[in-house]
Structure 1
Amino acid sequence: MASEELEYAGFWIRVWASVIDTLLLGIVVYPLLTAIYGDAYWEGANFVHGPLDFLISWVLPAVAVVAFWMARQATPGKMAIAARIVDANTGNNPSTGQLLIRYLGYFVSCIPLGLGIFWVAFDSRKQGWHDKMAGTVVVRKKSGTTRPVEFNA
């Protein structure tokens, strides 16, 4: 798809995609953790309840998200809003390295009260800090009056 047919996916549509992804992840994680640790898991104050908790709560989501990004350039939530992640300079699929940096960049974006995530609302290319760190943008087919996508290459 030519860049003039694309727009940057803005803050609120990306929030919606995140809600979808969170719900889908919860459908998988909640029953697994409850089956392993029982209902007491949800009342405990421990950050990590054991090795399986770490694998299910931290490793599984990371692997799933990066795998979806590598295979489809989008998580199910982004697919639902017809958005995808591309290299900010070329518009091509991002490299595995970019995707790993992007995922780790979410943690950096969240540390100062989520400022790096909210940055999407104010940035001209709708990039959060995680996108800027990885050199990516989130695009979708043009449907509104937002700024058209521009690639350098």
Structure 2
Amino acid sequence: MDTNEYEYAGFWVRAGASIIDTILTFLITAPALIYIYGWCYYTDENSGIFAGPADILISWVFPTVAVIIFWIFKQATPGKMAVSAKIVDAKTGNPASPAQLIGRYFAYLISIIPLFLGIIWVAFDKRKQGWHDKLAGTVVIKKVSTGSEPVKFESA
């Protein structure tokens, strides 16, 4: 990989990709949830955390599996693809391993729990890594569009 073609994907690019992914996930899951539970799924103030088993599958299991599958086969979710970003191994720049990507997904919990500090960390880190990236040994890179500093991997 020619590292001069890539730069680290910063906070706002990644936030934009997340917004795209959230909208796409909603457009896919909302019709199924409304079909099964009706509009009260979104409007009932007295409902619990989960409306039932289908809610857990549609709202939690499906998105988790879909994201990890996109990461493994495309190195990115549709949102990251839209901004020309991808997830790679932080040391080599090669595609991250499935174990790294699964770990990265669940490391989001560690990034989110302390008031999203691990996510916000992307804005201040030299390599634009969130805590989940650091824990998984990954970085998010995108095609160069400005005069930013190119990506440097240890083996390069």
Figure out how many residues of one structure are paired with residues of the other and give that number: 153
Backbone CA RMSD of aligned residues: 0.9
- The residue type paired with residue 78 of structure 2 is P
Structure-2 residue corresponding to 1:78: 80
**SS across alignment from 2:151:** coil
State yes or no: 1:10 paired with 2:10.
Answer: yes
Residue 4 of structure 1: CA displacement?
A: 2.2
Structure-1 residue corresponding to 2:89: 87
Deviations 1:6-52 (A, max 9, x none): 10000001111001000000001111111001111112331111111
Deviations 1:86-138 (A, max 9, x none): 00000000000000011001111111111111000000000011101100000
* From 101, 105, 120, the counterpart of 1:99: 101
Residue 147 of structure 1: CA displacement?
A: 2.5
**SS across alignment from 1:57:** helix
State yes or no: 1:34 paired with 2:34.
Answer: yes
Structure-1 residue corresponding to 2:43: 43
- Percent identity, aligned pairs only? 57
- Structure 2: which 5+ residue stretches go unaligned? none
- Structure 1: which 5+ residue stretches go unaligned? none
Structure-2 residue corresponding to 1:119: 121
Residues in 2 aligned to 1:114 and 1:147: alpha-carbon distance in whole angstroms? 26
**SS across alignment from 2:91:** coil
- The residue type paired with residue 12 of structure 1 is W
